[in-house]
Chains A and B, each alone.
Chain A
Amino acid sequence: MNLADWLRERLGLEALDHVIEKKRVPVHRHTFWYYWGGMTLFLFGVQVATGILLVLYYRPSADEAYESVRFLMTQVSFGWLIRSIHSWSANLLVGAAMIHMFSAFMLKSYRRPREVTWLTGMGLFVLCLAFGFSGYLLPWNQLAFFATKVGTDIMGSVPLVGPFLARLLRGGDQITGGTLTRFFGFHVAILPLCMTALLGIHLFLVQWHGMSVPPGAEQPVAAPKQEMKFVPDFLLRDLVGWLAALGALALLAALFPWELGLKADPYAFAPAGIKPEWYFGYMFQTLRMIPSRVLGIEGELLGIVGFGLGALVWALVPFLDAPDGRGPRARFWRVVGVLAMLYVVVFTLLVYRGGPS
C-alpha cells in the first residue's frame, strides 16, 4: 500500500471523489456569469494571504500606524507590492462581488430552493463593505481620517440606534487612536471570523443545490443535458480567470502603487477631495444630492432610511418574485434589477465627473 492509498483510507477521500466526479456546471448562453463567484473567492484568498503578511509589520496605534506603513512601503523588500496588491485586490474584490450579486439577481438564481444561498450572499457582500471601510482607516492618513469621520457620522444619524452605533464603532465620541485599534480588531479578527463562517455556509449551499439554470435557458427534460464537469473542465477555465486577475493585480500594483498621503492630524482642517472608496460612491453621491431638508425631514435621514429599505427589499426578493421565474411578476423584478444596476453605475460615475466637489 503506497502513501496515497494509505492517506485515502485514513481521510475517507472516497466520499470526496464521489462529489468531485458528480459535480456538473450547466452550459447555456449565460454560463459566463457562473465564473464571478469563483473570482470573488480567489480575490478573497489574495486578501487573506496579503493581509496576513501586512500584519507582520503593521502597528495599530495612532502614534505608529502611519509610520509603520511608511516603513513597509520604503524599507521592507516588496512591502510596497504586498500593500498595493492588498489595496487593489480589495477594490477588485468588491467589484467582482457586485458583478456576482447582480448576475445572480438577473438570472433569478435566488428562486426556491436557493433563498438562503441568496441571503448568505447578501451577508457576505455587507462583510466585504465592512472590510473595506475598516481597512481604509488603518494607514491613519488624512483622507482616511475624514472619510471615517463622515462615514461614522452618517451611521450616527440612523434613527434610534444611530448614536449608540457610532460610539460603538468609534470606541468613543471622536475618531481617536482607540478607534484605530478597534477598527484593526474588526478588520483582522472579527470580520475574518464572520466571513469564514458565512462563506462556509454559502459554499456548502452552492455545492448542495448545484448550479441553478435561469428561466430562459432551461432545456426540455428529454433532451441530452448541456453541461460540463466541474473538475477539470470548469475549474481549468476558472484558473484562467484567476491567472488573469493575478496578472492584473501585479500590473496595477507596479504601475499605480497605493499612495500613503499625509499623516492624520485631528487638529488639521479637512483637505479638499475627501471621498470614500468608489464602492461607497453611489451612496455618497446620493446623500450629496438630497437637499438638506425635504418636507421638513432632514435629507441625511431620508437617504439613510431609503438605503435601509432598499437593502431590505433586495434581501427579500426571493420571497417576492414569482417562484417559477415567469410572468409579469418576474418581469417586474427584472426591471427592478436593471434599474438598480443603472442607479449604481450612474451615481458611481457622477462622483468622478469632476466639477464642483
Chain B
Amino acid sequence: MKRRTFLDVFLAASGAALAAFVAYPIARYLVPPKAPEAATRRVVAAKQDELAPGGFKIFPFGGEPGILIRGRNGEYRALSAVCTHLGCTVQLRPDGQSIWCACHNGLYDLEGRNVSGPPPRPLESYVVHVIGGDVVVEKAKGA
C-alpha cells in the first residue's frame, strides 16, 4: 500500500470512529428510559356510594385510564378505557347500554366486546370487589 493511500484510509477510519463516538451517546440519549413496569394490579377506583346507578367514571390504573361503570341495578364492572383502535379514552353512552369511543366512532358492548367501528379487539376486563366501602379493581389472574 502506498503511504498516501494508507494515510487516506487511516484518516477516514479515524473520522468514522470519532463520528460514532459522538453519535452513539446522542442516539442513546434520545431514546427515553424504560419506565419501571407498572406493577399496579389493584387499585381503589371509587368509594362505594360515589357513582349513582347508570353512572361511570374514568380512574387511573397503573398509568393508564380505566373505566368503572355502575349498572342500573347497582352492580359494578370495570374495563380498560384505552380504545383498542388508536388509544383514545372511551366513555359510557348516555343510554347506559354501550361503551363508545368518540375519536372514530368505535362501539363496544358492556362486556367490552368490539361491536362496530374501527376497534379491532375487545377492551380488557378487570375484576371488581367491593371491600369495606371501597370499589377495588384488580387485573384478572394471568392478564
Name A's B-contacting residues (CB within 8 A): 146, 149-150, 153-154, 164, 167-168, 170-174, 178, 266-274, 288, 292-293, 298-300, 356-357
Contacts known (A150-B86, A269-B102, A270-B88); A292 close to B58, Cβ less than 8 A: no
Q: Are B32 and A171 in contact (CB under 8 A)?
A: yes
Interface of B is mostly: loop
Q: Are A168 and B31 in contact (CB under 8 A)?
A: yes
Contacts of A167 in B (CB 8 A): 31-32
The answer for the CA separation of A356 and B31 in the assembled complex, in Å, is: 39
The answer for the CA separation of A269 and B106 in the assembled complex, in Å, is: 13
Nearest Cβ distance between residue B46 and chain A, in whole angstroms? 12
Contacts known (A271-B102, A298-B120, A356-B105); A149 close to B86, Cβ less than 8 A: yes
Contacts of B91 in A (CB 8 A): 269-270
**B131 interface hit (Cβ, 8 Å):** no
Number of interface residues of B (CB under 8 A): 27
Contacts known (A150-B87, A270-B101, A356-B105); A174 close to B120, Cβ less than 8 A: no
Given A268-B89, A356-B105, list of 16 further CB < 8 A pairs? A146-B88, A150-B87, A154-B86, A168-B31, A172-B32, A172-B35, A266-B65, A267-B59, A268-B58, A269-B58, A270-B88, A270-B90, A272-B102, A274-B88, A274-B102, A357-B105
What are 20 pairs between A and B in contact, CB < 8 Å? A149-B88, A150-B87, A164-B31, A172-B35, A173-B35, A173-B63, A174-B64, A266-B60, A267-B59, A267-B89, A269-B102, A270-B89, A270-B90, A270-B101, A288-B104, A292-B120, A293-B120, A298-B120, A299-B118, A300-B86
The answer for the CA separation of A38 and B89 in the assembled complex, in Å, is: 43
The 8 A-B pairs of least Cβ separation, nearest first, read A269-B91, A270-B88, A153-B86, A272-B102, A150-B86, A171-B32, A269-B89, A153-B87
Interface string of B47-87 (1 = CB under 8 A from A): 00000000000111001110100000000000001010011
Q: Which of A150, A172, A174, A269 is most buried by chain B, counting CB atoms within 10 A of its CB?
A: A269
Residue of A nearest to B31 (CB): A168
Residue of A nearest to B63 (CB): A174
Contacts of B30 in A (CB 8 A): 168
Q: Are A146 and B103 in contact (CB under 8 A)?
A: yes
Contacts of B65 in A (CB 8 A): 266-267, 269
Residue of B nearest to A179 (CB): B32
Partner pick for B103 among A150, A172, A174, A300, CB 8 A cutoff: A150
The answer for the CA separation of A67 and B63 in the assembled complex, in Å, is: 23
The answer for the CA separation of A291 and B120 in the assembled complex, in Å, is: 10
Contacts of A146 in B (CB 8 A): 88-89, 103
The answer for the CA separation of A215 and B134 in the assembled complex, in Å, is: 76
Contacts of B83 in A (CB 8 A): 270
Nearest Cβ distance between residue B51 and chain A, in whole angstroms? 15
The answer for the CA separation of A83 and B116 in the assembled complex, in Å, is: 40
Partner pick for A274 among B63, B67, B103, CB 8 A cutoff: B103
Residue of A nearest to B105 (CB): A357
